[in-house]
Amino acid sequence: MRFKSLLLLFFCAPALFGALLDYKEIKAKPKSIAKDYYIYRLLLEGNASKEELNDLYNEVSRMNPTLKSRFAKKIDVDFNEVCKPLSVKSALEANQTCLIKLLTPQFVEPLSDSAKTALLEKIKKESNFTASWIIALKSKEPFKTMQKNGLAEEFLKIFNDMPKSYKQNLNFALDKKFLYKLESSPNSYETFVKYIIFNADEFPKPAKSLIYAPKSNKLTHHTLFYLGINALKSNNTKLAEELFDAASKNAYFRSDMDKSLFFSYLASNNQSTLLELSGSFDINIYSLYAKEKFGTPAKNIIFLSSSRQKAIHKFNMQDPFEWRLLLNKIKDMEKREMEIYSIGFDAQDTLPVYAFLLERLSNYKYHYFIIPFEEYLSGIEDERKALILALARQESRFIPSAISTSYAIGMTQFMPNVALDIAKKERWENFDLDDMFQPQIAYNFTDIHLNYLNTYLYHPLFVAYAYNGGIGYTKRMLQADKLFKSGKYEPFLSIELLHGDESREYGKKVLANYVIYMENFDKKVSIKELLEILTQPSQTDKFRL
């Protein structure tokens, strides 16, 4: 295993940077995700008293499910506070705030008609809160009843709230008049449209009816885009082009605009659309595809390095509290002040911070690519090195002390359980989770994890999906045999119909990073060819063989 001899030496000594903070040390730190992470570590590994943990409970800046479950095992705390889990009795006794918070279609639907009526009577006494959807749930065919009565808001609430088994009661086409009404709740309508189109095989009639959905400017970019996907799958290319053009105009982010322009090109084969896309300032798989097609150089990609060894600013790259303080410091900085401040980080040891600030100063019109801590990648082949860098850039912008809200840690954002598992399997003693804040450890753990992922996955896009969503997630997706198969508009339809918003967007960004790093290593790869082989299992993965 790469670097193993080096790391064995490292782990045989006491952890140099490990830091299980005690109660007093954590208490003294400012509220932040970093503080939450150390509270989590204390709950996981420490022996603080109940009194101390009760105090730290009030110090949490963002309570997530992981932290909740850990606190629940150590102290007596009611996470529902005054809103107890509902029964019919408690619902009838609850105040308005708790009703709004806890009264959901999933709770109401199984109740008897008399219980539903009692809840309606209770609600009528409360001002500022209505639940007419409860009446709809009393119907034997609620979706049909709501369409017949024009109850669009109720329809969307029930459909979006209910589990998949209940959603399958929607097995009929929606009429155009009702589709117009659904538009009046654009965010809820977006959730509905995405669900139907992502699961079109199970909802063929509703999906077909969405072909006739109106193309209002009130709709969100995502609604218009996925309505366009639906039209494209039905070979209604003219409608698809119109919807993608409308989606590009409604996009807030340039990456979303580029995606819509690319699909407009797929629908129309209009080369001028692709030419327009080739001029995008954003770097994504679609703009790279267009640039490759027309030989357009990406003038706003800058490979950054520094001749200075040490930063002017005193800054500990491995201290998550210092990183959080820096983020707070720059939040309200004027541009000129930030320009001056950024110069102090122009050094090899703080290059990630310098690149981060330069991108922010350019309003993300320039894309800075760096290879920090390159000495720790020595001896790794270029393809693997490019993938490690692509992942690290997307995960943290190479910030060694980065911590996510779910406590993924370090430059390559390992979840604590995964990091601990790797350390255990490699039999490395004295491993401390804070060791992940060291660049050499982050790079090495990523290399080890990629050895495992590459046993099953050979394509950087699929590896990225597994790195983000897990190997099980990626295996289920591929073995479901619905995506990344040969067909018209593939693999692009599959790329955008992958379940899981986070993994879908993450994979595209990592793939774009990978192409750019490979080109920097004089191993130019064609984004077009990389995408085309996604439908060829023998070249991409073991799961479909």
Beta-carbon contacts of residue 469 (< 8 Å; ≥ 6 apart) = 500, 502, 503
What residue spans define the domains of the chain? 303-369, 389-396+407-540
pLDDT (0 to 100) of residue 2? 40
Reported as a single tens digit per residue, the pLDDT across 111-143 is: 888 888 887 777 776 655 667 888 888 888 999
Strand partners, 403: 409
pLDDT, residue 129, reads 60
What are the phi and psi torsion angles at 414 (to 5°)?
-85, 135
Confidence of residue 10 (pLDDT cuts 50, 70, 90): very low
Q: What is the pLDDT of residue 287?
A: 98
More confident residue, 11 or 340: 340
- CB-based contact 463:509 (threshold 8 Å): no
Average the pLDDT over 379-391 and give the result. Answer: 97
The residue among 132 and 496 whose pLDDT is bigger is 496
DSSP designation for 86: P
Question: CA-CA distances (angstroms) from residue 470 to 51, 405, 417, 422?
Answer: 37, 18, 13, 15
389-396+407-540 folds as: Lysozyme (1.10.530)
The pLDDT > 70 percentage for the chain reads 93
Task: State the Cα–Cα distance between residues 469 and 462, nearest whole angstrom.
Answer: 10
Question: Can you read off the two tokens belonging to residue 506?
Answer: 């993450």
Split at pLDDT 50, 70, 90, the class of 392 is very high
pLDDT digits (tens, 9 = 90+) for 36-63: 999 999 999 999 999 999 999 999 999 9
**Which pLDDT value is given to residue 126?**
63
Largest pairwise CA distance in the chain? 77
Rounded to an integer, the average pLDDT of 298-309 is 94
Instruction: Look up residue 61 and give its two tokens.
Output: 């800046």
pLDDT of 107 reads: 83
Query: HEC states along 322-378?
Result: HHHHHHHHHCCCCHHHHHHHHHCCCCHHHHHHHHHHHHHHCCCCCEEECCCCHHHHC
Please give the residue that has the higher pLDDT: either 524 or 528.
528
pLDDT classification of 428: cutoffs 50, 70, 90: confident
Residue 410 has pLDDT above 60, yes or no: yes
pLDDT score of 113:
85
Pick from 50, 57, 47: which is nearest to 27 by CA? Answer: 57
**C-beta of residue 29 within 8 angstroms of C-beta of residue 321:** yes
Please determine, for residue 11, whether its predicted confidence score (pLDDT) is greater than 90: no
Residues of the chain with pLDDT > 90, as a percent, come to: 80
Tokens standing for residue 505: 């967007």
Structure-block tokens of residue 68: 């909740």
The chain-wide mean pLDDT, for the chain, equals 91
One-letter amino acid of 182: L
7, pLDDT greater than 80: no
Position 363 scores a pLDDT of: 95
Q: What is the pLDDT of residues 214-252, one digit of tens each?
A: 878 789 999 999 999 999 999 999 999 999 999 999 999
The whole-model pTM stands at: 0.92
In this model, does residue 209 exceed pLDDT 80? yes
More confident residue, 101 or 42: 42
H-assigned helices in 456-498: 460-469, 471-479, 492-496
pLDDT at 239 (0 to 100)? 96
Q: Check residue 399 and give its pLDDT.
A: 98
**Band (1; pLDDT cuts 50, 70, 90):** very low
Which residues are within 8 A (CB) of 367 and not within 5 positions of it... i.e. 6 or more apart?
A: 283, 298, 300, 301, 302, 359
- State how far the Cα of 250 lies from the Cα of 203, in Å rounded to an integer: 27
With bands split at pLDDT 50, 70 and 90, how would you rate the model's confidence at 268? very high
Residue type, 236: N
pLDDT of residue 86: 61
Q: 527 or 108: which carries more pLDDT confidence?
A: 527
Please count the CA atoms within 13 angstroms of the CA of 213 that sit on its side-chain side: 37
